[in-house]
C-alpha cells in the first residue's frame, strides 16, 4: 500500500487481504494522511464509500471520521441536498399541523 498511487487507496478495501479489516482501514487512513491536505477529504470520502461495501458501518466510522470528509465538494453537495430535503419536510409538517 505504501507504494501504491494514492488515487487507488479508496479501492484497497475491495481487494483481497490477509490482514484483518481494521488493519486495512487503519493503513489506508494512515496513507491518506501522508498526501496533500487538499486531496484528503475526497480520498477519505471515497475510502468510506468503498469500505462500506465490504465492512460494517461501525467499523468504517471507527477509522474514518466524518469530519475528515466534510470538506469534500461531493460531501458538501450531498449535505446541501439533505438540508434542503429536511427543510422541505419541515415546511410540509408545519403546513399539515396548521391545517
Q: DSSP 3-state assignment of 77? A: helix
Residue 27 lies in a domain: yes
Alpha-carbon gap, residue 35 to 37, rounded angstroms: 6
pTM above 0.75, yes or no: no
Residue 54 lies in a domain: yes
Residue 55 lies in a domain: yes
Per-residue model confidence (pLDDT) at position 77: 62
Residues 6+ apart with CB under 8 A from 90: none
Residue 42 lies in a domain: yes
Residues 6+ apart with CB under 8 A from 26: 63
Residue 98 lies in a domain: no
Structural domain of 27 = 6-71
Share of the chain above pLDDT 90, in %: 48
Rounded to the nearest 10°, the torsion over CA 70, 75, 77, 79 is: -70
pLDDT per position as a tens digit, 38-76:
999 899 989 999 999 999 999 998 888 776 766 666 655
The 8-class DSSP code of residue 9 comes to: G
Count: domains in the chain: 1
Residue 64 lies in a domain: yes
Supply 72's cell numbers: 469534500
Residue 87 lies in a domain: no
Amino acid at each position: 500500500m505504501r507504494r501504491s498511487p494514492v488515487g487507488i487507496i479508496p479501492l484497497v478495501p475491495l481487494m483481497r487481504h490477509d490482514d484483518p479489516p481494521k488493519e486495512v482501514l487503519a493503513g489506508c487512513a494512515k496513507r491518506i494522511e501522508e498526501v496533500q491536505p487538499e486531496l484528503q477529504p475526497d480520498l477519505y470520502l471515497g475510502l468510506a464509500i468503498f469500505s462500506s461495501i465490504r465492512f460494517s458501518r461501525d467499523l468504517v466510522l471507527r477509522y474514518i471520521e466524518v469530519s475528515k470528509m466534510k470538506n469534500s465538494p461531493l460531501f458538501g453537495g450531498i449535505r446541501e441536498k439533505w438540508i434542503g430535503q429536511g427543510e422541505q419536510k419541515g415546511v410540509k409538517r408545519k403546513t399539515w399541523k396548521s391545517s
